[in-house]
Structure 1
Amino acid sequence: MAKTSKKNDKATTPESGERLNKKTYDNELRLLHIELVKLQQWVVEKGLKVCIVFEGRDGAGKGGTIKAITERVSPRVFRVIALPAPSEREKTQMYGQRYLAHMPAAGEVIIFDRSWYNRAGVERVMGFCTEEQTNTFLKVTPLFEKLMLESGIILIKYWLEVSPQEQARRLGDRCEDGRKLWKLTPMDLKSFTRWDAYTKARDEMFAATDTSWAPWYMARSEDKRKVRLNIISHLLKQIPYGDLTQAEKIKLPKRGKIGTYKAKDYPFKMVNERF
């Protein structure tokens, strides 16, 4: 694997070439965030229902990409769904039932950080479901997604693809970085040893569920900055939207006179100022 600098700005991999530098990334991301705000207002105004699915191996960059999408928009419009393992009760329900409650209503963008496709990936590879259950899932999912579209939902599915070398580097970094330890679960460690099994499961999932009405879009995620910009740029092209921000120029109103009311003395418990 190629050596990386401390900032990773110029590290290279066979798949991605030179890393995107931070200044370029920040400038491009700012422009894309402006467009996401426009999209947000359009979704609300027009009552659109948008569902975005993110799938990929552990360490592929799903969480960081979702954060890049949502950090400058309203959490009341862009809602992220990252469900834990099913409860004992949920295990007895119809598969996929727990996801239905999170489907978008008018004026919402729902982002699934992993989704019903767990059955075709981690559940299958780790033996949490039978092959018969997996085959049934792969058979009915295209029909389920067609029903979603017929109900007016705009469904967009992304798979983030990472190399085994880059995945190993990222998961190893989680082991060393106290800020990222929460991202590393016992299941991640077990699944790390089953690369080929995940690849086979991914390919069979694509073959069964990459349909004309709900296609899969794959994005290379060797460079986290590049994949975030590429995904957002692609997402903006999937939903035609207008610019409602220019309808009326926003100006601050005149502030009333300050000082007519004198604040009361109060024994506030102040935060210690360390900086």
Structure 2
Amino acid sequence: MADSKAAGRVPRKPYERELLRLQTELVKLQEWVRAEGVRLVVVFEGRDAAGKGGTIKRVAEHLNPRVARIVALPTPTERERGQWYFQRYAPHLPAPGEVSLFDRSWYNRAGVEHVMGFCTKAEYQRFLHQCPLFERMLVEDGILLRKYWFSVSDEEQQRRFHKRLEDPTRRWKLSPMDLESISRWEAYSRAKDEMMVHTDIPEAPWYVVESDDKRRARLNMIAHLLSTVPYREIPPPAVSIPPRPPSTGYERPPRDLQTYVPDHAASLAPAPD
């Protein structure tokens, strides 16, 4: 396989063209999932600013949100902290005909919770023991489980952090945990390596996505996902748009009886010819 780091950045036009083709295939996959009652789980993990969120956005962009749901859980409540660790994730697993896209997952315990001391050593060791068992049960029950680790270099991560800091629309993405990850880079690296040793199992292997080039990472991840699922195109039902029936005398109420939003767009300067 070619070294994606040495291959250079994917140009925008070929990227957009191929992304649309892959997204069209994702819609076909969605319809197959719905028609065949398949349960598909896709786990997105990786370092902060590795490109997980952008990839998830492109995966879900043209999918039916009632079929493909993004699961991004907040900090656990006090009650959830006392539950079996995997319990809070189980309700978000898909029913037949659904896809669950986990924007981070149960692997929080192997990463941020372990590195930042948010769990005990015993809880961490229990996770490493139970996680493969949990995932084997999912697979044995018929769930299709795909796990992707987005790998980003420390230089590129730093550049993205600075970009978030300078962009008011993305400033919210720069959390205290992100900043802490800079000083704990090696600790997170060791945690990832240990996690891989215990959870990279034949029934649910990890797939690493090189993500210094976000465009390349998105295309590679989506193409790989499609290649691992035996979907087929489901012919759409025959649909015809009926003719509009003749008027029966309905008249729209006067416009001044309703409140309209101001025409902000009218204040914009006209585009040059």
> Of 37, 56, 59, which aligns to 2:27?
37
Tell me if the contact between 2:132 and 2:201 (Cα under 8 Å) persists in the aligned partners. yes
User: Residue 254 of structure 1: CA displacement?
Assistant: 2.5
Secondary structure of the structure 2 residue equivalent to 1:211: coil
Q: 1:166 — aligned with what?
A: 156
Q: 1:198 — aligned with what?
A: 188
| 2:237 maps to 1:262 | no
Tell me if the contact between 1:16 and 1:223 (Cα under 8 Å) persists in the aligned partners. no
Q: Which 5+ residue runs of structure 2 have no aligned equivalent?
A: 266-273
CA distance in 1, matches of 2:247, 2:8: 55
Flag the 1:172–1:52 CA change in 2: closer, same or farther, 3 A.
same
User: Residue 269 of structure 1: CA displacement?
Assistant: 1.2
| 2:106 maps to 1:116 | yes
User: Residue 18 of structure 1: CA displacement?
Assistant: 2.2
User: Residue 242 of structure 1: CA displacement?
Assistant: 1.2
CA distance in 2, matches of 1:251, 1:230: 37
> Of 24, 49, 52, which aligns to 2:42?
52
CA distance in 1, matches of 2:20, 2:239: 20
Flag the 1:14–1:78 CA change in 2: closer, same or farther, 3 A.
closer
Q: Which amino acid aligns with 2:245?
A: G
| 2:241 maps to 1:252 | yes
Secondary structure of the structure 2 residue equivalent to 1:18: coil
Q: 1:208 — aligned with what?
A: 198
User: Residue 252 of structure 1: CA displacement?
Assistant: 3.0
CA distance in 2, matches of 1:15, 1:102: 35
Count of residue pairs the alignment pairs up = 262
Provide, for residues 62-102 of structure 1, a one-character-per-residue CA deviation record: whole Å limited to 9, x for no partner: 00000000010101111001111111111111112100111
Q: 2:11 — aligned with what?
A: 21
CA distance in 2, matches of 1:259, 1:36: 43
Tell me if the contact between 1:126 and 1:191 (Cα under 8 Å) persists in the aligned partners. no
- What does 1:104-253 align with in structure 2 at a 5 Å threshold? 104-244=94-234, 246-248=235-237, 250-253=239-242
CA distance in 1, matches of 2:90, 2:6: 37
Q: Please say which of residues 256-265 and 137-146 is displaced more in the overlay.
A: 256-265
User: Residue 247 of structure 1: CA displacement?
Assistant: 4.7
Flag the 1:272–1:214 CA change in 2: closer, same or farther, 3 A.
same
Flag the 1:175–1:258 CA change in 2: closer, same or farther, 3 A.
farther
Q: Which amino acid aligns with 2:86?
A: G
Secondary structure of the structure 2 residue equivalent to 1:15: coil
Provide, for residues 26-82 of structure 1, a one-character-per-residue CA deviation record: whole Å limited to 9, x for no partner: 111111111111111110010000111010000000000000000101011110011
Q: Which amino acid aligns with 1:167?
A: Q
CA distance in 2, matches of 1:85, 1:46: 34
CA distance in 2, matches of 1:259, 1:26: 47
Q: What TM-score does the superposition give when structure 2 sets the normalisation length?
A: 0.91
| 2:87 maps to 1:97 | yes
Secondary structure of the structure 2 residue equivalent to 1:96: helix
Flag the 1:200–1:269 CA change in 2: closer, same or farther, 3 A.
same
Q: 1:81 — aligned with what?
A: 71
Tell me if the contact between 1:70 and 1:78 (Cα under 8 Å) persists in the aligned partners. yes
RMSD: 1.7
Provide, for residues 159-200 of structure 1, a one-character-per-residue CA deviation record: whole Å limited to 9, x for no partner: 000000000011111111111111111111112211111111
Q: Which amino acid aligns with 2:57?
A: K
Secondary structure of the structure 2 residue equivalent to 1:50: strand
